[in-house]
Chains A and B, each alone.
Chain A
Amino acid sequence: MSYYGSTDWSASRDLVDRVRDIRKGNLDLGWMKTGTEQVEIHAENSRRGLIYQDLNRGSYGFDALPEVPRGPRGAAPRGAAYDVAHQADLAPELNRRSDVWAYKVASFTEEAMSRQWDATRDVPWADLDRYERPEEVEIAFAQLCTFFTEVEMIATDLPAKWLWRMNNQFHEVKHFIATQAIDEARHAEVFRKRALAGGVGLMEALPQAEHSLKAILDGDTYSEASAFMHLLAEGNILTLFRFSEFISPTPVDKRMFQLVMQDEARHVSYGMQHLKWILDHCPERKEQLHLALDEAENFTLNQFDSALFECMIVLAGKGTRPEQIKKGIEIVGVLQVKQVEEYFHRLRRAGFEERIERSKFREMMAQMALLQKDPALPA
């Protein structure tokens, strides 16, 4: 299964002679004469520091990247000199810029690097004891945190699945994906910590949600998986995070949701900008994306796990008494409409408005008679 190179260096007389020659001071210095482009690079804004956008010059920049970078298939960084015939071929599978690229991806990457936070210290865990929480509310919150712990790791596993298949010419995207992986690991970590700090522990895993996760992971292409995960699933989670901040039982929990929201918003933005890039540069792939989202929406519709909906209702109503349940249902009903509404809004912003007419959510919302409650939704 492994690859062990094309040369047995241990038996190479040339290698030993070369090193001995260098030792004597006989340098070849061929690597100095490769003629790579010289550029003038400084931080344009000293407060921001030296960012990827400052490096966007000549053959090193991302503006100059063609749709199909022909030749580079190895570990040579973009703009370095390399020999097409002798490079170690890492066999990348995503070799078209439109397979992975997104508008503003370099900015997203820099933002991610500058906004890293630590679930261990940036949430005031010790303050949790200062706030009284009714038992039923804490149980509901533990169920919600169990759900978040469960779903957040998909957004590490899916990007990781595709990252190593991407050509190294797209290093800004690969770096963004690496930041997303650590962001989402941190989200899983923070929700696990919250569930285990609250006095209840982890609760039930949710089968319907898991089927959606499997569908995301098994997407045929990176772009299809990205549309499902970044745009639809993470979009829904972002709306849910906002809702959860609103219904958080303590300021500690509010802080936790504020931290995860800024990361999630970045991931959703990448997904939107990737979709927009595809639609602008490869409109012929539209139908393929429609088909992927048909099935993605179908899985999302089936994510009705009663434990998830009911825990949100209990949290929103702050208890299980009939009047609390009634209030909780009203709030969660609004959340449901909001999730669909925001998804449609993201589709519009990505230039994929035609998707809305075809969406499976419209039929379901109509059936539930929720459609009439929000005039912003298309009829």
Chain B
Amino acid sequence: MSYIAPKDFSLDPALVERLMRTFSGQLDLSWMQSIRERIAARPSQPKRGLTLDDINQGGYGPEHIPEIIRHNFSMAPRGAILPNSLPSLGYRLNRKSEVWSDQAPALFEEGKSRRWAPARDIPWEALDSGGYSPEQDAAIRQLATSLVSIGLVCTDLPAKWETLMNQEFHEVKYLMCLQMVDSARIAEAFRKRALYGRGHLGVDCEPLGELLKMVIESGTYPCASASMNLTLFSLVQGLGRHWEWAARNHADAVLGMRLAQDASRFLAYGMDHLRNLVAQRPAERDTLNGHLDLIENGVVGWLGARELLEPLLLLSGGFQPVARLYEKTIDEYMARCEAAGLGDRRKRSPLPGFLARVLN
């Protein structure tokens, strides 16, 4: 399986000769003429620093990326001079519309500027003041357990596709690295939340496990992006806001706020990516809608799971706030699907039917 060199270079006299020639002072220096396009990018707003948008000029910018990459399968950076002998690194995502979002550079910049570390940026000692009944305390730890699972799988999903993505789309690849660390941070923060004080983890929620498996095993990158960025993170954002709303201490309020804020970036990329894809290749709309029909079936299973519903109910002080959370989250999700160019999903999605049957 591994890539083997065509010869043993330690026994190659030609290599030694070349090295010795250089080290004896016989330099070629022809590479100094290899200047393709001169550029001296500067911060457009000095306070913000030098952003990706600032350097995306001329041939270095994404406007010149063709829809289908045929010229570069190596790690050579976009805009560099490409010698003929560059190897292929086996990329499988070589269509711009499969991955691209014009917002990716700005979202990457935003993610970096809003970085935080759970160890120090959550006022953990505020949890010592309590504020919850024993049942609510168990409920919040159970919800945190489920959020750890979500964080773990959402770390894996961008990793799974990142390796397969052509380097010409480096802004999207950077953003996927950010998604990995954002998701790992969700897992870290909520693990710490569950265990803090006299703490414990709860139980694995099987319908959530099934949903996460569906999301990560999506067969194409656009389907994976739709199911994670758009569907799953709509729910995560809703949970983050609800967590903040139900918080009885400053630590939980910050945790919920951070979760909702980070989720917004996943949503923004997912929506713009899908909008771009559907605009470029309208036939993809049917594939994506068909995929989401089935993913949303998994969402129904999770929304109806005791491991989600009962802790939410205990934490929220009754069923009505949870019903409102479900309705609002699904409503916003449907609006996002429409804004992403997927059309009105209300008629085909199992989610409105589920809500109607259980809430009315």
CB–CB B85/A178 < 8 A: no
A interface residues, tally (CB under 8 Å): 154
Contacts of A297 in B (CB 8 A): 10
Would you give the shortest CB distance from A375 to chain B, in whole angstroms?
Answer: 20
Chain A residues contacting B304 (CB-CB under 8 Å) are 9, 12, 15-16, 18-19
* Number of B residues with CB within 8 Å of any CB on chain A: 150
- Cα-based distance from A40 to B202 in the complex (angstroms): 15
Which B residues from 204 to 224 make CB contacts under 8 A with A?
204-214, 216-220, 223
A175 within 8 A of B: yes
B55:A192 contact, CB within 8 angstroms: yes
With contact pairs A4-B294, A76-B149 given, residues A181 and B180 touching in the complex (Cβ less than 8 Å) = yes
Q: Which of A30, A80, A178 contacts B180 (CB 8 A)?
A: A178
Chain A residue at minimum C-beta to C-beta distance from B77: A149
Q: Check if A2 sits within 8 Å of B291, measured CB to CB.
A: yes
* With A31-B310, A150-B77, A295-B2: A43-B152 Cβ-Cβ less than 8 Å: no
Given contacts A29-B310, A150-B80, contact A43 B200 (CB under 8 A): no
Determine the distance from Cα of A201 to Cα of B81 in the docked complex, in whole angstroms.
10
11 contacts between A and B (CB under 8 A): A5-B297, A9-B297, A40-B199, A83-B206, A146-B80, A150-B80, A160-B160, A164-B156, A205-B86, A306-B27, A364-B10
Q: Which B residues lie at the A interface, using CB under 8 A? A: 1-5, 8-12, 15-16, 18-20, 22-23, 25, 27-29, 31-32, 34-43, 46, 48-52, 55, 57, 60, 74-77, 79-83, 85-90, 109, 112-113, 115, 117-122, 124-125, 135, 138, 142, 145, 148-150, 152-153, 155-160, 162-163, 167, 170, 173-174, 176-178, 180-181, 183-185, 187-188, 191-192, 195-214, 216-220, 223, 291, 294-295, 297-298, 300-301, 304, 306-307, 309-311, 313-314, 319, 323, 350, 353-354, 357-358
| Whole-angstrom distance between the Cβ of B197 and the nearest chain A Cβ | 7
Known interface pairs A125-B43, A178-B183. Does A205 touch B81 (Cβ–Cβ under 8 Å)?
Answer: yes
How far in angstroms is the closest Cβ of chain A from B186? 11
Report if A125-B124 is in contact (Cβ < 8 Å); known contacts: A51-B119, A175-B188, A214-B89: no
A1-37 CB contacts (< 8 Å) to partner B:
1-10, 12, 15-16, 18-20, 22-23, 25, 27-32, 34, 36-37
A121 within 8 A of B: yes
Q: Is the CB of A219 within 8 A of B2?
A: yes
**Is A175 in contact with B8, judged by CB distance below 8 angstroms?**
no
A164: which of B115, B187, B216 is its contact (CB, 8 Å)?
B216
Decide if B307 touches A31 in the complex (CB within 8 Å).
Answer: yes
Asked if A121 meets B48 with Cβ closer than 8 Å, knowing A31-B203, A31-B306, A215-B2, the reply is: yes
Chain A residues whose C-beta falls within 8 Å of the C-beta of B37 in the assembled complex: 201
A-B CB contacts (within 8 Å), total count: 488
Contact with B along A133-150 (1 / 0, CB 8 A): 000100110110010011
Selected from B77, B119, B178, B201, the residue in CB contact (under 8 A) with A146 is: B77
Chain A residues with Cβ below 8 Å from B173 are 153, 156, 185
Least Cβ–Cβ distance between B29 and chain A, in angstroms: 6
- Would you call B25 and A3 a contact (CB within 8 A)? no
Judge whether B202 and A118 touch: CB under 8 Å: no
Q: With A197-B50, A301-B9 in contact, do A2 and B223 touch (Cβ < 8 Å)?
A: yes
Selected from B2, B77, B181, B214, the residue in CB contact (under 8 A) with A188 is B77
Residues in A neighbouring B149, C-beta threshold 8 A: 75-77
Interface: A318 (CB within 8 A): no
In chain A, positions 111-160 with a C-beta closer than 8 Å to chain B are 113-114, 116, 118-123, 125-126, 129, 136, 139-140, 142-143, 146, 149-151, 153-154, 156-160
Which of B3, B10, B148 is A77 in contact with, Cβ under 8 Å? B148
Is A341 positioned at the interface, with any CB of B under 8 Å from its CB?
no
Min Cβ gap B248→A in Å is 19
- Complex: how many Å from CA A368 to CA B135? 73
Q: Is the CB of B306 within 8 A of A22?
A: yes
A55 within 8 A of B: yes
Q: Is A378 part of the contact surface with B, judged by Cβ < 8 Å?
A: no
Instruction: Give 4 new A-B contacts, CB below 8 A, not counting A164-B155, A314-B32.
Output: A82-B204, A90-B216, A295-B5, A310-B31
Q: State which of A265-273, A325-333, A342-350 sits at the interface with chain B.
A: A325-333
Inside 8 A of A142's CB, which chain B residues have their CB? 35
Closest approach, in angstroms, between the C-beta of A132 and any C-beta of chain B? 14
Contacts of B124 in A (CB 8 A): 42-43, 49-50
**Bound-state Cα–Cα, A5 to B214, Å:** 6
**A139 x B32 contact (CB < 8 A):** yes
Known: A75-B204, A214-B3, A298-B9. A179 touches B184 (CB 8 A): yes
Cβ-defined partner of A118 (8 Å) among B113, B174, B354: B113
B163 and A4 form a contact (CB under 8 A): no
A22 in contact with B213 (CB, 8 Å): no
Most buried by B among A8, A10, A211, A218: A10
Q: Are B200 and A39 neighbours in the complex by a CB distance under 8 Å?
A: yes
Shortest C-beta distance, B181 to chain A (Å), equals 4
Check A203–B184 contact: CB distance below 8 A.
no
Question: Is there an interface contact between B198 and A306, defined as CB atoms closer than 8 Å?
Answer: no
| B22 adjacent to A202 (CB under 8 Å) | no
Q: Check B357 against A16 for contact (C-beta < 8 Å).
A: yes
Contact of A202 among B29, B60, B125 (CB under 8 A): B60
A28-B306, A77-B152, A214-B3 given; A120·B180 CB < 8 A: no
Give bound CA distance, A201 to B43, whole Å.
16
